[in-house]
Amino acid sequence: MAADPPRRQPTLDEVAERAGVSRSAASRAINQAPHVSRATRAAVERAVKELGYQPNRTARALATQQTGIVALAVSHDAPELFADPFFAQVIVGVSAALEDTELHLVLCLASSGRGQTRLTNLLRTRGVDGIMLMALRGDDPLTRIVRQAGLPAVYGGRPLNFEPQWYVDSDNVGGARLATEHLIGLGRTRIVTISGQTGTEVGEARYRGYREAMIMAGLIPYGMAEGDFTEAGGAAAMKTLLDSHPDLDAVVAANDNMAAGALRVLAESGRSVPADVAVVGFDDLDVAERTQPPLTTVHQSIQALGKEMTRMLIDLIAGRERTSLILPTRLVVRDSA
């Protein structure tokens, strides 16, 4: 089945023998440990080179009790949702952070019951040194599983109703505030918001940011409709708001997809953006550049999120102290506001 004859990899014993030293000495030399004479080190290095030796990962893991593997678990109702570019961005960030370590990444799509069982096994059998979790709801069984495993765990975003000990999150409140303040600075006062699901932390946080900014400016939160983070949901919410608040002059959408939906409905209703109604989104996904007009939006770096989660996990595994992290967001001004 293997492409080449499965010629066994040389072992440490063989290296030691060839170098004329003991296995312990060889091990020490290979691991750059102290208490190795120059001569020994040189002999071992030569033997390693000649034999093409590579220490066996599994054996080392068994001895050190460290697998050199971290898990990234993505929990989602339907595995198809994994296709969201969001996760790809996270993975790119994670990989970047892993790049200058010896760690490898196992990816767990833990949506189904089967997937969760597999993940549980992986943790309980000590198959990984630590884990990163994304897209959890507060009541997700994964949180319990992870807690029980007693392994370092870093959350991406905060589940609702549960503050993990270690997490990395975008500053959703601050971002929404930024967006709203921008509109206020433009002289808008009848500012409504299209929120995400109120059952999610992101949804709640961005809504909170909008409210805070309004109140701090002495304005009343003018109107709100709940969306579901999709283009269609944004469109529906926009219609509702146009009915209830026909004189609105700006809208803060909790993400770009919904903002795109809102733009579509506004165009259909004959309002011009940004003249009649200013719109700002959130996320700064690709779609934001392609809407008509291009979307002013709040930028958050998903890659950075993945990278920081990974760095944090690495530190935790190494036993270093860490505290949770909230990543800044910034406003990207285009034409819609």
Partner DNA sequence: AACTTTCCTGGGACCGCTTCCAGCCGCCTC
Partner DNA sequence: GAGGCGGCTGGAAGCGGTCCCAGGAAAGTT
- The span of 34-42, 112-120, 181-189, 211-219 binding its own copies (CB under 8 A) equals 112-120
Out of 9, 244, 272, 292, the residue judged to bind its own copies by CB under 8 A: 9
Considering the rule CB under 8 A, would residue 55 count as an interface residue with its own copies? yes
Instruction: List the interface residues with its own copies, window 190-219 (CB under 8 A).
Output: none
Give the shortest CB-263-to-its own copies separation in angstroms.
14
Question: What number of CA atoms fall less than 13 Å from residue 221's CA on the CB side?
Answer: 16
Query: Under the criterion CB under 8 A, does residue 186 sit at the interface with its own copies?
Result: no
Tokens of 276: 């009649």
Is the preceding peptide bond at 55 cis, omega within 30 degrees of 0?
Answer: no
Distances (CA, A) of 70 to 101, 109, 128: 11, 14, 5
Kindly report the CA angle at 81 between 168 and 291, in degrees rounded to 5?
85
CB of 124 to DNA, least distance (A): 10
* Rounded-to-integer distance, Cα 211 and Cα 298, Å: 16
Among 17, 51, 60, 95, indicate the residue that binds DNA (CB under 7 A). Answer: 60
Residue 70 C-beta: closest distance to its own copies, Å: 10
What value does the CA radius of gyration of the chain take, rounded to a whole number of Å? 26
How many residues of this chain bind its own copies (CB under 8 A)? 63
Q: Which does 30 bind (CB under 5 to 8 A by kind): its own copies, DNA, none?
A: DNA
Q: Where are the alpha helices (DSSP H) in 171-299?
A: 172-185, 201-216, 231-244, 256-268, 287-290
Residue with the two structure tokens 């146009």: 242
Which of these segments, 37-45, 192-200, 266-274, 306-314, binds DNA (CB under 7 A)? 37-45
Q: Of 13, 42, 77, 104, which lies in the binding site for its own copies, with binding defined by CB under 8 A?
A: 104
Three-class DSSP labels, 158-197: CCCCCCCCCEEEECHHHHHHHHHHHHHHCCCCCEEEEECC
User: Closest separation between CB of residue 63 and DNA, Å?
Assistant: 3
Q: Is 323 in the site for DNA (CB under 7 A)?
A: no
Looking at the Cβ atoms of 195 and 297, the one nearer to its own copies is 297
For residue 325, the tally of other CB atoms under 10 A from its CB is 16
- Is 84 one of the binding residues for its own copies (CB under 8 A)? yes
Q: Please pick, from the candidates 11, 23, 45, 118, the single residue that binds its own copies as defined by CB under 8 A.
A: 118
Q: What is the DSSP letter of 54?
A: -
- Report the residue number, 101 or 244, with the smaller CB distance to its own copies: 101
Among 21, 74, 173, 251, binds DNA (CB under 7 A): 21
